[in-house]
Amino acid sequence: MPALVRIGRTLRRTLLQAIPTMLGIVILNFFLLQLAPGDAADVMAGEAGSATEESMAALRSRFGLDNPVLVQLMHYLNNLAHFSLGFSPRYGMPVADLIGQRLPGTLTLMAVALVIAICLGVVLGSLMATFAGRLPDRLLSIFSLLFYSIPSFWIGLMLIIFFSVKLGWLPSGGSGTIGSRLTGWSAFVDKARYMVLPATSLALFYVAIYARLTRASMLEVKNQDFVRTAYAKGLTPFGVTARHILRNALIPITTMAGMHIGGMLGGAVVVETVYSWPGLGRLAFEAVMGRDFTVLLGILLLSSLLVIIANAVVDLVHAWLDPRIGAR
Amino acid sequence: MSSTDIGTFHSVARTPYASSAEAEPPVTSNPADGPAWSNVKAPDARSQQSSTVTVTNGRRALKVFLSNPNALFGTSFLVFVIVIALLAPVLYPDDPLSMVGRPFLWPGQDSAFPLGTDSLGRDVLSGILHGSRISLFVGLTATALGLTFGVLVGSLAGYFGGWVDDVLVRLIEIFQTLPSFVLLVVLVAIAQPSATTVTLAIAVISWPTVARLTRAEFRAIREKDFVMAARSLGYGHARIIFREILPNALPPIIVTSSVMVATAILMESALSFMGLGDPNVVSWGSMIGTGRELVRTAWYLTALPGLAIVFTVLALNLIGDGLNDALNPRFSQDR
C-alpha cells in the first residue's frame, strides 16, 4: 500500500522533528519558571496564614524544591522519560490526573469553536467570493473585519448580558447544571446549552480569518483552467463551487486551522475565565497564580504536543484533499 | 509613517528592479478587483510570502491607500485616538482612578459625567480617555520591539541559511509551538505586571511571526540577480542585508506591523481583564474586568470600554487592509 507507506513516512518525519522541539520547550520553560520569584511553598505558606522556617523547609524537601536547579531539571526529564508529568504540591495529586480532569472540557470547547468557526467562515467566505466586489461582499467583509477586532472576553460578556441577563435563554457560566441527574439526550442538550455562548465567543475571531481566507483562495482557484472545464461540461454553478472550487480552496484553510490550535488554547484561557468553564486554560491561570510550576510545565508541554499533533493531522488531511501533496 | 517608509523604499527599489518588473503580470489583472473596492485580507497577510517580488511604486501605493475609504476612515480614527491619548492629561488632569462623583450614575444621567460613573464613583469617560494611553503605548512599543527583533532574526536566518538558519528556525518553531497567550500569561506573572513587563512580554511572543515572514522574504530575494550583482561588487553582508534586500522585503512586513499593533492591543486588554495588567494605571481591559462583576446591574461599565477597544483595533485592521492593497498588488500570493 503506497498510501500507507507515504502516511507512515510523513508521520515518522514529523515525529523526528518534534523531539528536539519538545526538548527545547521543556528546557526553556523550566529555566523560565525558575526565574519567577517565590515557589509553591511560599504561596502555600502564605495561604495557610503562618508557617515556621522548619515547616517551609519540610515542604520544600518533600517536593524536591530545595535541590539545585540542574538536579531538578534532571529529575523532571527522568520523570518525563517514564511518561510521568510529576506531582503537584498544591493540588496534592499527580499532574497527569489533574490535567486529565480538565483536558476534556477544553478540548470539547476548542473543537466546537473550531467547527463553528470553519463552517461559518467557509459559508461566509463562499458568499463573499461569489459576490466578489459587489454589495454583499463589501458588507460581509466589513463584518468579518469587525469580528476580527472584537476581544473574545468582551463579546463573551456582551453575549451574557443579552442572552442570559436580558433574555434568560442560556446559562451564563459553568459547564452543566449542578447536581442534575440527566441522562441521554436531555443531558446532551443541557451540556450543549452551556456550550453555546463560550464556543461562540471563542469562534468569532476565527470566523473572520476563515471567511477572508476562503474568499481569497476561492477567488484564486476560480480563474484556473479546470474550473472553466467544469463549467464547459455543463455542471451547475453550485456543483462547480462546492466540488471543484471549494475543495481546492480548503487547503490553505486546513493549514491555518492547524496553526490556530495553539492560539485557540490561549483564547480558551480568557473565555474560560469569563464563563467559569472548568478547563485547562483556567487550570493554567490558577497554576501561575499558585506558583505551581510542575502543573504549568505539564500544561505547556501538553499543549505544545497538541499543536504538533494538530499539524501532523493537517498534513494527513492535505494528503487526502490533494493527492499531489503526499506524492512529493 | 507609511509615506516616508514607502518613499525611501521606492527610491532604493527602483534601480535594480526596473528590468525584471516588466515580466510581472499587470496589477489590475483580476476582474474581481473593482477600482474602489479592493481585497480585504490583512489578517492572512502574515501567512503570506511573496516569492516573486514586484516593484512597489511608493507614490502609486500612497495613491491607492488614500483612495480607499476604509483605510482613510481607519487612519482618521487612529489619529483621533492618538490625539485623545495625548490630550487626556489636559482634559482630565485628575487621576482617573480617584473617586469624583456618586457611584452608578448611568450615561447621560448627570451632565458632569457624560458616560456615567462606576461602582466607586470614578468617571468612566476619564477612564476611557486615559486608558487609550496605555493601550497605544503597549501596542506601539511592543510592535516596535517585536519587529526589530523579528526582522533581525528572520533576515539572518534567511540570508545566511545553513546552520544559522537551522538554529534560528528551531528557535522560531519552539516559540510558535507554545500557545502564545498561555506563554504571555506565564511571562507577565513571572515578571510582575507593569506596563514595561507587559510590553516586553508581548514583544517576546510576537517576534516569531515577523521572523518567519522576513525569513521567507529573504530566502526568495536572496537568489535574485541584483543581490548577486551586489555581492560581486564586493558589498559586505550588512550592506546587502539592510540596504539591498530589506527594502525589498518591507511591504509584507509593513502590512503585518499594523495587524501586530492591533493584536498587541487586544492582548494587553485581555491581560488586564484577567488582572495581569499594570495595577497603577487605568486601562480598557481592567475597566472591563472590574465592570464584569456588575454585568447584571450596570452593563454600561463593561460595554463602553469594550467599544473603545473594538473601534481602535478595527481602525488598525482597516489600515492594515489598506496597506495590503496598496503594497501587495498581486492578488494571488504563492503560499
Is the ipTM higher than 0.90? The answer is no
- Domains annotated on chain B, with CATH: 64-86+114-334 (1.10.3720.10)
The pLDDT value recorded for residue B21 is 35
pLDDT at B145 over 90: yes
b/e code A278-295 from CB counts within 10 Å (16+ = b): bbbbbbbbebbebbbbbb
pLDDT exceeds cutoff 60 at B18: no
Q: Using a CB–CB cutoff of 8 Å, tell me whether B270 touches chain A.
A: yes
**pLDDT number for residue A252:** 79
Q: Does B176 touch chain A (CB under 8 A)?
A: yes
- Residue B166 reports pLDDT greater than 90: no
For residue B70, the chain A residues in CB contact (below 8 A) are 142
Best of A23, A149, A215 to substitute, by most chain B Cβ atoms within 10 angstroms, is A149
From first CA to last CA, the distance across chain A in angstroms is: 16
Q: Which residue has cell 491607500?
A: B65
Question: Does the distance separating the beta carbons of B177 and A307 come in below 8 Å?
Answer: yes
Q: Determine the pLDDT at residue B40.
A: 43
CA distance to partner chain B, nearest, from residue A282 (Å):
10
Q: Flag whether pLDDT at B331 surpasses 80.
A: no
Residue with cell 476562503: A214
B residues 27-56 closer than 8 Å to A (CB):
30, 32-34, 37, 39-41, 43-44, 47
User: In terms of Cα–Cα distance, which of A274, A130, A164, A263 is closest to A205?
Assistant: A263
Residue type, A151: P
- The predicted pLDDT at position B39 comes to 45
pLDDT of B5 above 70: no
pLDDT of B1 above 70: no
Whether A149 sits inside 8 A of B331 (CB atoms) is no
Q: What is the pLDDT of residue B148?
A: 93
CB contact under 8 A, B189 and A208: no
- pLDDT band, very low/low/confident/very high, at B147 (cuts 50, 70, 90): very high
Closest CB to B44 among A24, A151, A209? A209
Name chain B contacts of A265, Cβ cutoff 8 Å.
Answer: 179, 181-182
* B105-137 confidence digits (pLDDT tens): 777 777 777 777 777 777 788 888 888 888 899
Q: Tell me the average pLDDT across B255-272.
A: 88
pLDDT higher at B330 or A73: A73
| Cβ within 8 Å, pair A263-B181 | yes
Q: What is the value of pTM for the model shown?
A: 0.79
Given an 8 Å threshold on Cβ–Cβ distance, is B273 in contact with A265?
no
Q: What is the pLDDT of residue A230?
A: 84
User: Could you give the CA distance from residue B7 to residue A129 in angstroms, rounded to a whole number?
Assistant: 34
- Kind of pairing, strands A87-88 and A93-94? antiparallel
Other beta carbons within 10 angstroms of residue A68's beta carbon come to: 8
Cell 513516512 appears where?
A9
- Best mutation target among A130, A143, A153, A219 (most B Cβ atoms within 10 Å) is A153
Q: Which residue of B has its CA nearest to A266?
A: B181
Q: Closest by alpha carbon to A30, among A283, A307, A262, A300?
A: A300
pLDDT in tens, A11-51: 777 777 778 888 888 888 777 777 766 666 666 666 666 66
Return the higher-pLDDT residue of B206 and B297. Answer: B206
- Residues of chain B with pLDDT > 90, as a percent, come to 10
pLDDT band at B19 (very low <50, low <70, confident <90, very high): very low
CA dist., res. A148 & res. B326, Å (int): 21
What is the model's pLDDT at position B203?
A: 93
The set of residues, in sequence order, having a beta carbon less than 8 Å from that of A209 and lying 6+ positions away, is: A117, A121, A148, A256, A260, B43, B44
At A111, which helix (H) or strand (E)?
helix A95-130
Question: Which of A267, A266, A257 has its CA nearest to residue A199?
Answer: A267
Query: What Rg do the C-alpha atoms of chain A give, in angstroms?
Result: 24
Question: What chain A residue is nearest to B205 in terms of C-alpha separation?
Answer: A263
- Cβ separation of B181 and A265 shorter than 8 Å? yes
- CB contacts under 8 A, B 109-168 vs A, are none
Which positions of chain A have pLDDT values less than 70? 1-4, 6, 36-51, 59, 62-67, 174-182, 321-328
pLDDT beyond 60 at B13 = no
* pLDDT for B17: 34
pLDDT at A270: 85
> Phi and psi at residue A60, in whole multiples of 5°?
-65, -45
